Amino acid sequence: MVVVGAGFSGLAAALALKRAGAGVRVLEARDRVGGRVLTRWLPDGTQLDLGAQWIGPTQDRVRALVTRYGLATFPSAAHGTPTVLWDGRRYAEPPAPTGAVLALLDAYAQGVDPAAPWAAARAEAWDRRTVADWLARAAPDPVTARYLGRQLAGGLLAAAPAEISMLQLLFYLRSGGGSAMLLAMAGGAQQDRLVGGPGVLADALAAALGPDTVRCGAPVHAIVQDRTGVTVRTDDEVVTAGAVVVAVAPALAGRIRYDPPLPALRDGLNQRMPMGSAVKVHAVYPEPFWRADGRSGVATCADGPVTETVDNGTPGSARGVLTAFSYGAEATALRRLSPPARREALLDALVAIVGPAAGRPDEVVEYDWSADPWTRGCFCGALTVGAWRAYGPELRRPVGRVHWAGTETATRWAGYLDGAIEAGERAAAEVLDTTDQLSLK
Ligand SMILES: Cc1cc2nc3c(=O)[nH]c(=O)nc-3n(C[C@H](O)[C@H](O)[C@H](O)COP(=O)(O)OP(=O)(O)OC[C@H]3O[C@@H](n4cnc5c(N)ncnc54)[C@H](O)[C@@H]3O)c2cc1C
């Protein structure tokens, strides 16, 4: 079997295939495994997770692997009071109406089966309505609508509220266990980090596959299939197998050439699931000065280029790290600025949150996932308005010997590391169900 992509999904698929006795080759474009995870260390040991960083409760698959490989986690920093910047005012928590709107969304999400969002009773109406449009009517005032749009379409999907359908949002809420689970630090998706970063888990998975299973620096350009098997082509290698698991986001799967060409509906899906647009920037300070003022460094903002920040310090390191996130239109606007202007805009936003000392970092560290040819945006892909009903059923449907993995195809914790693992294991099970594919190896 061949697996395209050595992110968490491809590695999980390969491990499941290997454990079932199949021969496996994993072809990975980059010179490393792990995909959308990347960690840099400052000389003093401060850990900067530039890609994915958190795991939380109910993410049972990723947690099981953390336990199996004996890896350690640490809780996200939690000192002091959070900040909510709201129409020029400062609060410790969002004003009450946000809770009522979130409760309504969570109730709606209960009506969406994450394995078949297109079949929901109200799917047609929800798929053509944008989150921005819904919030403009459901929220009691424009600030609440703006704040929630930034938290939900932005914080969860790294998109603008006008780009995301209600059905996409409700699917995502259901898949991750509801708004409180998705948005919270302690008790939610942002609860814990891995010592050494999530890349150590990817390395452990790759090591468990044994030597010579994963080939890095091997971008797959073409997948040819006929009645006897598949042929997968990289720059300098042709691999034949009984089946292939494509464990990359649809936006990248659509850049591979298929022969015969993909059916119109599958190709249509690849065209309608763009990656999100997030800017994640770490500002590093001599110490976490905001803690002395009783502030947690955790902030959410109704306006401005930064939607949220967290205190991203590493236990055992004296340095303070404030990590700022910007999404959708705000992220795009930042990307258009020159590097100095962008840095200034980001630091001005941090000054508004924790005070003037935020304007004097030791360094500012960022990785632009949108510019990375093997990711092209983050956190994940999301179907465009109207596309869930028209193309959603193609998301996991195999095309002959081509099977689809990647976090975008998950039903639980879609968009997250945990969902990537679910998707890889599900795709492997599909392949194993097709016995002639297994016998061909
Ligand atoms: C900034 C950021 C923050 C995030 N925060 C979190 C978080 O805190 N918690 C969380 O759970 N998730 C988070 N995520 C999402 C998480 O990283 C993804 O859900 C997960 O890593 C996706 O895994 P995957 O295997 O599906 O895809 P990927 O990780 O994208 O893996 C796909 C692999 O395929 C390779 N590839 C692509 N095209 C080809 C080709 N043609 N040939 C060969 N190889 C190819 C890529 O190089 C990549 O290694 C974050 C992501 C980002 C970028």
Instruction: List the CATH number of the domain containing 428.
Output: 3.50.50.60
* Inside any domain, residue 345: no
> Looking at ligand 1, which residue's alpha carbon is closest to its atom 34?
5
Residue pair 42/203 in contact (Cβ under 8 Å)? The answer is no
Cα end-to-end span (Å), the chain: 5
CB-facing half-sphere around the CA of 113: CA atoms within 13 A: 9
Which residue from 232, 219, 221 is spatially nearest to 256, judged by alpha carbons?
A: 221
Number of domains in the chain: 2
Q: From the CA of 168, how far away is ligand 1's center (Å)?
A: 19
Query: How would residue 436 be classed by pLDDT, with cut points 50, 70 and 90?
Result: low
**Which pLDDT score is estimated for 52?**
98
> Is 70 exceeded by the pLDDT of residue 209?
yes
Indicate if 146 and 177 belong to the same structural domain. yes
Residues 217 and 157 in one domain: no
Of ligand 1's atoms, which has the minimum distance to the CA of residue 59?
Answer: 11
The pLDDT, as a whole number, for residue 424 is: 99
As beta bridge partners, residue 120 has none
The pLDDT mean for the chain works out to 97
Of 136, 154, 183, the residue that ends a domain is 183
Contact 307, 330 (CB under 8 A): yes
Specify the pLDDT at position 96.
87
Annotation-wise, does 344 bind a ligand?
Answer: no
- 14 and 141 in one domain? no
User: What's the token pair of residue 394?
Assistant: 């193609």
Q: What is the pLDDT of residues 88-110, one digit of tens each?
A: 999 999 998 999 999 999 999 99
Q: How far is the CA of 44 from the centre of ligand 1 (A)?
A: 27
* 175 and 219 in a common domain: no
pLDDT (average), residues 229-254: 97
pLDDT band at 79 (very low <50, low <70, confident <90, very high): confident
Residue 249 shares a structural domain with residue 396: yes
| Residue 78 confidence (pLDDT) | 85
| 379 assigned to a ligand binding site | no
pLDDT at 154 over 90: yes
142 and 220 fall within a common domain: no
With CA atoms as reference, report the closest residue to 349 among 287, 296, 303, 290: 303
Residue 205 confidence (pLDDT) above 70: yes
The answer to whether residue 404 sits within a structural domain is yes
Segment 41-62 shows an average pLDDT of 97
Is residue 41 over pLDDT 60?
yes
d(CA 39, CA 104): 37
Q: Is 361 left (phi over 0), alpha (psi -120 to 50) or beta?
A: beta
Q: What is the mean pLDDT of the segment spanning 353-370? A: 97
Q: What percent of the chain has pLDDT over 70?
A: 98
Decide if 392 contacts 168 (C-beta within 8 A): no
* 438 pLDDT above the threshold of 60: no
Spatial separation of the C-alpha atoms in residues 392 and 201, rounded to whole Å: 31
User: In angstroms, what is the span from residue 318 Cα to ligand 1's centroid?
Assistant: 30
Q: Is residue 131 scored above 90 in pLDDT?
A: yes
Mean pLDDT score, 154-164: 98
| Structural domain span for residue 436 | 2-36+198-273+382-440
**pLDDT given for residue 437 in this prediction:** 58
**Is pLDDT above 80 for 288?**
yes
- pLDDT tier at 8 (50, 70, 90 boundaries)? very high
Same domain (yes/no): 126, 266: no
Distance CA 5, CA 214 (A): 9
pLDDT score of 440: 53
Q: Is the same domain home to 170 and 204?
A: no
Pocket of ligand 1 (CB under 6 A): 4-10, 27-30, 35-37, 51-54, 219-220, 247-249, 252, 256, 278, 280, 369, 374-375, 378-380, 406-407, 415-417, 420
